Structure 1
């Protein structure tokens, strides 16, 4: 299971990542990624150098660390299948969360082909999407 601090939960944050982030499609999933230019998308500096909490949703998601959200629609399958796909994706992403650049937001959208995929197939698709989206990160050479 993903730690609560690593979950993308606000619908505004999901929408922002999907609209402004980069996208990489694979046969079983689509990954949207939005990276923070300063590594901290949730805070901004005041003129005196102190950090102030960003309260506007237009500036970016309120993130300190990397966060991930999942979209598994009814097109993937019935409730049992959707939950199985969600669990597999959470497990795959949890193992790779530490190598994401600080302040990265991801939305992982499962496609109907994910219903019959194994965890290894989902992991390969996720890894390939991340390599395409984050070529300069440490991840590019890890897997």
Structure 2
């Protein structure tokens, strides 16, 4: 399932034979900025996601993709965007699982 906000896109999937806990990966392309900027964005996203791991279904894989302009967003606003996108993707995923 996919959920997008103005500066982040969250992809969430349940994979067969996945480990018990959720896995999270980050995609920060060169369009976001140079190496220093990309690493700073990755560190910010990691700190935002860490307390939200409990929101992710067990055995899920989550990819957080940063969009250009994310480095200019204040931390509080970025936290709201990531939180909203993770909740929406998790809700879609759980709803899709219930239908199958």
- How far apart in 1 are the matches of 2:50 and 2:82? 12
Structure-2 separation of matches of 1:35 and 1:120: 29
1:26 aligns with 2:22: no
- TM-score normalised according to structure 2 size: 0.83
- Ranked by relative contact order (alpha carbons within 8 Å, sequence separation 6 or more), the top structure is 2
CA RMSD of aligned residues (A): 1.6
What TM-score results when the alignment is normalised by the length of structure 1? 0.60
Between Structure 1 and Structure 2, the one with more helix by share is 2
User: Where in structure 2 are there 5+ consecutive unaligned residues?
Assistant: 95-100
Deviation of 1:91 (Å): 0.3
Aligned counterparts of 2:48 and 2:62: Cα–Cα separation in 1? 13
User: How many pairs does the alignment contain?
Assistant: 93
User: Which stretches in structure 1 are left out of the alignment for 5+ residues?
Assistant: 1-21, 43-61, 138-143
1:102 corresponds to 2:58: yes
Contact preservation (8 Å) 2:55, 2:90: no
Partner in structure 1 of residue 97 of structure 2: none
Distance, in Å, in 2 between the alignment partners of 1:89 and 1:95 is: 11
Q: What is the aligned partner in structure 2 of residue 3 from structure 1?
A: none
* Distance in 2 (alpha carbons) for counterparts of 1:63 and 1:26: 28
Hey, which bits of structure 1, 4+ residues long, moved more than 2 A?
none
- Aligned equivalents of 1:86, 1:97: Cα separation in 2: 16
Measure how far apart 1:112 and its partner are. Answer: 0.5
The structure number with the bigger radius of gyration is: 1
CA shift for structure 1 position 118? 2.1
**Residue 63 (str. 1) matches residue 42 (str. 2):** no
Query: What does residue 92 of structure 1 align with?
Result: 48
Which residue is equivalent to 2:70? 114
